[in-house]
Amino acid sequence: MIARPLAVALVTALTTIAVPQAATAQQATALASHKSPFNCGKTFYANNWTPGHNPSGSIDWQSYGSDAINGENVRATAAGTAYFYDKGSTSYGKWVEIRHSDGTKTRYAHLATMVRAAGSSMSVSQGTVIGTVGSTGNSTAPHLHYEQYTAGGALDTSPTVEGVTVSLGQKKAITSSNSCGGSSNPYTPEQVCGSGYSVIDSQALTGGRVYLLYNSGNRYNCVVTLKTSNVGTASAMSAFLEPQGSTRTTDSGNFAYYAGPVRRSAPATCVKWGGSIGSSSYTSPFEHCG
């Protein structure tokens, strides 16, 4: 929830949330590697306000200076498996829980959008985009409600991100180093195309790669172009798919991570596929006719 005077008590339908307890030193250490849930270089307030915040010890991320939080990408603070939920106009609204390999978990609530439908799950790396900031559920203004849980299942009332601990009653401006630099793209072609798709072909581009995937269950093809350099910086990209005898479908624009997915039904039909990153492009012949 958000800081007063905008706060409204969170009427949560999530009756399984653990009663807040103090984290042990070992559990706190496990949480210390979490990064800010925002784009590289963005600074937002982490507000662990009290009394009245429900649950006590959770963080409300809010605008700071010229960095307005509404609509910002929300990123995984650490790697794990993300589970997507939607409580509608109540409680957390659209929200995501990420369960991490060390037994800890994080929650991200009041999202405007999610990258997967409610009821879905996906593997995420640290920095993978899981949604955008909004004000769904029982909320009165855009912000990100964020929780960290220890390996023992207790809410950590002094969560740590970017090496900064925000204890009860504290409000700190924290700058994100999440997904800064490097060539690591937090997405895979399978994640972008969705469940049931497998890579059947790919072609290298300068600064990335274009992939053709196939879903044997519904007999759809999918094309996605992924960056391997300048990751996180928007630049011209495209992905296209053309079943033989049909029109071409193209996704193009300035994207930070990938172009696509472009999905088309093509049972027993040859397809032409390809994509581009900047001036580097690839167009296949009609092929993969199974």
The domain spans of the chain are 25-175, 189-283
d(CA 289, CA 250): 20
Q: What is the pLDDT of residues 82-107, one digit of tens each?
A: 999 999 999 999 999 999 988 999 99
CATH dotted code for 25-175: 2.70.70.10
d(CA 140, CA 18): 25
Task: Please provide the average confidence, as pLDDT, over all residues in the chain.
Answer: 85
Query: Do 6 and 141 form a contact (C-beta atoms < 8 A)?
Result: yes
Average pLDDT of span 126-147:
94
What does the pLDDT read at residue 109? Answer: 97
Q: What is the pLDDT of residues 188-234, one digit of tens each?
A: 888 889 888 888 888 889 888 899 989 988 999 999 999 888 888 88
**Torsion angle (degrees, nearest 10) of CA 16, 22, 24, 28:** 80
Tell me the whole-structure pTM to 2 decimals. 0.56
d(CA 114, CA 10): 21
d(CA 181, CA 41): 11
Average pLDDT of span 2-30:
36
